Structure 1
Amino acid sequence: MSWLLFLSHNGSWPSAVATAVALLLVTYLVSSTLYSITLHQLAGFPGPVSCAVSRIPFWLACLTGKQVQWMHDLHVRYGPAVRYSPDDLSFVDDGGSVWKALHSRHEKGGREFPKAKEWFVTPSNAIYGINSAAAHEDHRRYRSLFAPAFSERALKSQEPLFRSHVDLLLSKLDEAAVADQPVDMAKIFQLTTFDIMGDLTFGQSLGQLEAKTYSQWVEAVFASIRAIPIAQLIQYYPLLQGLFNLIEPQAIKDMKYNHFKHSADRVDQRLERGSDKPDIWNLVLSAQGDQQLSLDEMYCHADVFMLAGSETTGTAMAGFTYFLLTNPDKLAVLTREIRARFPTDADITMESTAPLRYLNACIQESLRLYPPVPVGVPRTVPAPGQEVLGRWVGPETRVSVHHYATYRSAANFTEPATFAPERWLAEGKQQKGGGGEDSAAVYAGDRREAMQAFGFGPRNCLGQNMAMHEMRLVLARLLFRFDFEICDESRGWTDQRAFVLWEKKPLFCRLKVAV
């Protein structure tokens, strides 16, 4: 205490305090930096020093929409495992082993790594759904309950619903073809997929395709995508989250409330009026005992299915269209496959399109080059830790497989930037390419198991079977009926930013009815 009294008597107290605080801050920063790059449990993993000591480079990449390419560049420079923040690792899968290490259960009856809750935007009613950070027991209950709604049997009963929306899509494109008007295919796919999920989720279409414009609710969904990284940043830091809760603008509160209320009101209306359609809620309402959903859980999953079952499928079909139209030799092969197989449009069904080898290969290749969710979804390593790629990763580390970086890795795929559907064809059954050569053999060494666009393990996408059937049905019918040509202003369409989801530009195409 004597030195404090001396300073106070000599009038130098304020400057001395400022000096002491500055010295302590510098000491803390230096010691923290040294610890992070020498003694921290992740100190041995490669990555930029700036990322080892701070999360700021990562946040900047996320907030500017450049995270996808930024992370890809890090992996090209540093290898399959990259430390991109003090407590986070990103991996490029090497053909299945990393997916298994991070996404599977590691012992019989065990649990998979939990998803990092702060990565998911907090639901308005605080209920985390099947595709986010739901607790293990809740996720198992949800999956058991919803699985029948996405089974082959359910899809067969739902096919007339899908066909009616595709019929409407074809009629709108007929009008554009007759008028020789360019069509934004990215938008029209989103109109279609949201209308379909509206029928499956709420028992009625959103009516967007008929009106050829987004509803207010869907417009709000797209407008909010850019804010996802902001929400993730706030949620990552408890102090920042607490401060934001105190000063959150009323306009944001109103927007979140109205978005939630839109889904909740439509669930209430669906439950009140009933339905004899084969939609999701007929299966939900048939559940008994502990399997039943609470009303809040129904509200949450209405939101989940509307976004997860619509935006991503529409995005995938837009990517498919772009890559085919910019690779006319591949488009010619696919068009021949479809038009040679089916005598009439009525013959094109979910069942009849499932075996189309080149169509399936084109979809897979589009998902590889343009995955609808291109980033890594972090999991939290539980105690005592886990070995990944031959190295020990300690508990509480956030780990993820980065989709885009994995699918563009030269270690996994030959000519990784090339659109080559042939790489997905079985060895020994080569498909003639547009140039007339047997090209499948070139890609025989590709690690195709590395591509898991629908996720991996017990928390993979429950609706992937439906998405594949829907895409095959829509795309086969479009290519059977129309010849497409991309407009010049949409070349380079995949040069996009991503805020977890892609910020898509218009994909203008011209089309004419096939002769």
Structure 2
Amino acid sequence: MSWTAGTSVPDLVLKPSSFLPVGNHSPFLSILITSSALLVAYLVSGTIYALTLHPLARFPGPHLCAASRIPFWYACITGHQVRWMHALHTRYGPVVRYSPNDLSFVDEGSNSAGSAWKAIHGQEKGETEFPKAKEWFVAPENGIYGINSAAPLPSHRRYRRVFRSAFSSSFLRTQEPRFQKHVSALLSVLTSAATTTIPSVTGNTQGVPIDVLELLNFTTFDIMGDLTLSQPLGLLASRAYTPWVSAVFASLRVIPLAQVIQHYPVLNTLFRLIEPKAVKEMKYRHFRHSADRVDARLARDGEGLDDIWSLVLRSEGSDDALSLEEMYTHADVFMLAGSETTGTAMAGLVYLLLKNPEKMDKVKREVRGAFPDGIGELTMELAAARLGYLDACIQEALRMYPPVPVGVPREVPVPGKEILGRWVAPGTRVSVHHYATYRWPANFAEPDRFLPERHLAGACGGDRREALQPFGFGPRNCIGQNMAMQEMRLIMACLLLKFDLELCDPEVDWLEQRAFVLWEKRPLMCHVREAVVY
């Protein structure tokens, strides 16, 4: 190798191009080599900082996760985030650093420093709220974040004032005929399946196989369409999803991809510039579905309809009144949040009861003993009053199979916060992981067993039932949880009162599912037959 005459040693060190043979000097290659060296230096120095000097360096977790967010993104995109995070907590404890600037917490019962739920999601008087990480939520088409996502605090409080009466017990009592109508439609479909019977391998008579998950989703979507805007979707009548509902389920897998894009401002800006036309049109059609339903409901305002939107319209002229765009956003919110998660919870309960026959027998005896005269006397109010064990079964299903199993990140405000006895710097994203918290042995004895008895009044065994928060915690918890519980009690009581179910393939672990924020569910195929006594 030869060099240009007169080249000094410092020149060789500072100029990578000096190492190139004479005649092959390339300014572009020189820039490329220098840029690569700088990038490597940046990555190395960033990794060293993340592992030693970063404010989160003292928190436990894999070194690779401390240096890069890639392992977390990979777990999310492949649908394995829930069990990946659970495994991290099992190995590292109740606090895990799972990416450079993120901590996941288990609300641990043995920790004397307090509750992670309260520290992160609660808001003491005079304290600053931990805002939700906006990039975690798929950006609404019209830019208006709703009551269940990253709405600014003043807007969120206004939304809750508008909608809180819609989920009160008094309003729900007036809406019971709507619920009963759609539950009757569900029972009619199940009766039809039960009356067409086939012999089983055990010699018992079974109904034709039917997807219980699908029927429960049909029911909850029909109820919410009717309750929200007096426009049921007619899914039970058609025994098929509408294109809009099908698109909702199909889009779940891309939620983590949207979160990745939205997390990085440069990537988000670039995607907006090159976003395929087909994707833009799909998002717009989804938005217009809810918007058109709102417009149709507003056109019927003079008909005296008594639904959730009637309460929304009563706020017009007040400081709390919703704009038209806010109405569009919340019609979409209630159609999805009040339907998919409720159907998911009930499907999980059906499966868990069928896998635990002694629990199934116990809850059937309770329901059939409480309503010996049949369906006609069963109401939401009486179900709540008489069916304590069914309520415990619902709570236990929510623990073992929470409809939203992941942690929803919040950002620690200035000047920082002590969480579970450890100081967390401002700007850190923190969350309480539902699934890991509910399977934590310090919270629930034998956490992998379906034990509804742990939720009964007077139950002993050391379980921390306050750790179970499937509807969220604090001032931003789910506003519709009262309705969801009443709806689940009514539907499950009617189903258990009138029918016996049997899994078509009891060897398949139906709960072994991937999750893309929400669970990716397979059909829950069951044989159904009418109960001998109900």
- The reply to whether TM is greater than 0.5 is yes
Secondary structure in 2 matching 1:83:
strand
Q: Which residue of 345, 348, 355 maps to 1:316? A: 345
Q: 1:380 aligns with which of 407, 411, 414?
A: 411
Note if contact 1:112-1:458 (Cα within 8 Å) is conserved in structure 2: no
1:113 aligned to which of 117, 130, 138? 130
Contact 2:418-2:424 at 8 Å conserved across structures: yes
Greater gyration radius: 2
SS in 2 for 1:488: coil
State the identity %.
Answer: 62
> Which deviates more from structure 2 when the two are superposed, residues 224-233 or residues 266-275?
266-275
1:191 paired residue among 207, 215, 218: 218
Look up the match of 1:421. Answer: 452
Contact 1:490 1:507 in 2 (8 A): no
Aligned counterparts, 1:133-212, within 5 A: 133-179=150-196, 180-212=207-239
Find the residue that maps to 2:319 and give its secondary structure.
helix
AA at the equivalent of 1:51:
C
In the alignment, which of 96, 114, 124 is matched to residue 82 of structure 1?
A: 96
Q: Does 1:350 align with 2:380?
A: yes
Report the CA distance shift for 1:9/1:392 in structure 2 as closer, same or farther (over 3 A).
same
2:41 equivalent to 1:49: no
Tell me: CA distance 1:5–1:154, structure 2 relative to 1, closer, same or farther (3 Å). closer
> Which position in structure 2 is the counterpart of 1:445?
462
In the alignment, the residues of structure 2 paired with residue 246 and residue 399 of structure 1 have an alpha-carbon distance, to the nearest angstrom, of 31
Q: Distance in 2 between matches of 1:347 and 1:79?
A: 49
SS of structure 2 residue aligned to 1:127 = coil
Letter in structure 2 aligned against 1:192 = T
CA distance in 2, matches of 1:272, 1:410: 54
CA distance in 1, matches of 2:16, 2:60: 50
| 1:286 counterpart = 2:317 | no
Q: Residue by residue, what CA displacement relative to the aligned partner does 1:291-344 show, whole Å, maximum 9, x if unpaired? A: 110000000000000000000000000000000011000000100111111122
1-structure distance, mates of 2:435, 2:524: 21
Amino acid at match of 1:340: G
Matched, 1:481 2:498: yes
CA shift at 1:29, angstroms? 1.3
C-alpha RMSD over aligned residues: 1.7
Larger displacement relative to structure 2 (326-335 or 274-283): 274-283
Q: Distance in 1 between matches of 2:43 and 2:163?
A: 50
Distance 2:124 2:384 in 1: 33
TM-score (normalizing by structure 1) = 0.94
Residue of 437, 462, 474 corresponding to 1:457: 474
For the pair 1:362 / 2:390, whether they are aligned, the reply is no
Counterpart CA distance in 2 for 1:237 and 1:5 is 33
Deviation at 1:249, TM superposition (A): 0.6
CA shift for structure 1 position 71: 0.3
State yes or no: 1:227 paired with 2:254: yes
Report what 2:299 is aligned to: 272
Task: Indicate conservation of the 8 Å contact 2:17/2:30, yes or no.
Answer: no
1:263-314: per-residue Cα shift (whole Å, max 9, x none)?
1001000110234342111000001321110000000000000000000000
Amino acid at match of 2:307: D
Residue identity opposite 1:397 in structure 2: T
Deviates most, 266-275 or 171-180: 266-275
CA distance in 2, matches of 1:184, 1:261: 30
State the shift of 1:107 in Å: 2.9
Structure 2: how far apart are the matches of 1:32 and 1:489? 51
Q: Label 1:38 to 1:253 Cα distance change in 2 as closer, same or farther (>3 A).
A: same
Alpha-carbon deviation of 1:117? 0.1
- The count of aligned residue pairs is 500
Structure 2 distance, partners of 1:19, 1:293, is 57
Q: Residues of 2 paired with 1:27 and 1:233: CA distance?
A: 25
Task: Write out per-residue CA displacement over residues 171-200 of structure 1, whole angstroms, 9 at most, x where no aligned residue.
Answer: 000000001211101111001000000001
Which residue of the other structure, out of 59, 64, 81, is the alignment partner of 1:67?
Answer: 81
Partner of 1:20: 34
Alignment of 1:482-501 (within 5 A): 482-488=499-505, 491-501=508-518
Report the Cα distance in structure 2 between the residues aligned to 1:207 and 1:117, rounded to whole angstroms.
34
Counterpart-to-counterpart distance in 1, 2:82 and 2:277:
32
1:432 aligned residue: none
Deviation at 1:9, TM superposition (A): 12
Partner Cα separation in structure 1 for residue 149 and residue 91 of structure 2: 31
User: Structure 1 pair 115/6, CA: closer, same or farther in 2 (3 Å)?
Assistant: closer
Distance 2:231 2:281 in 1: 25
Letter paired with 2:524:
L
- Between the aligned partners of 1:452 and 1:460, the Cα distance in structure 2 is 9
Q: CA deviation at 1:6?
A: 9.4
TM superposition shift of 1:13: 4.9
How many angstroms does 1:348 deviate by? 1.0
Alpha-carbon separation, structure 1, partners of 2:443 and 2:69: 28
User: Match for 1:249: what amino acid?
Assistant: P
Residue 430 of structure 1: aligned partner: none
Amino acid aligned to 1:350: M
Alpha-carbon displacement from aligned partner over 1:136-165 (angstroms, at most 9, x marks no partner):
000000001100010011100011100000
TM-score w.r.t. length of structure 2: 0.91
| CA deviation profile, 1:57-85 (whole Å, cap 9, x unmatched) | 00000000000000000000000000000
SS at match of 1:128: coil
Unaligned runs of at least 5 residues, structure 1 = 428-439
- Kept in 1, the 8 Å contact 2:355–2:506? The answer is no
Aligned to 1:436: none
Q: Deviations over 1:106-145 (max 9, x none)?
A: 334x442110000000000000000000000000000011
CA contact (8 A) 1:380 1:397 kept: yes
What is the alpha-carbon distance in structure 2 between the residues aligned to residue 83 and residue 311 of structure 1? Answer: 31
Shift in alpha-carbon separation, 1:478–1:4, aligned structure 2, 3 A = closer
Distance 1:379 1:463 in 2: 21
Runs of 4+ in 1 over 3 A off after TM superposition: 1-19
For 1:499, give the aligned amino acid.
Answer: F
- Structure 1: how far apart are the matches of 2:128 and 2:418? 16
Which SS does the other structure have where 1:506 is aligned? Answer: coil
- Contact 1:490 1:508 survives alignment (8 Å): no
Decide whether the 8 Å contact of 1:490 with 1:506 is kept in 2: no
Q: Aligned pair in 2 of structure 1 residues 21, 199: CA closer, same or farther (>3 Å)?
A: same
Q: Is residue 394 of structure 1 aligned with residue 422 of structure 2?
A: no
Q: In the TM superposition, what is the alpha-carbon distance from 1:22 to its structure 2 partner?
A: 2.5
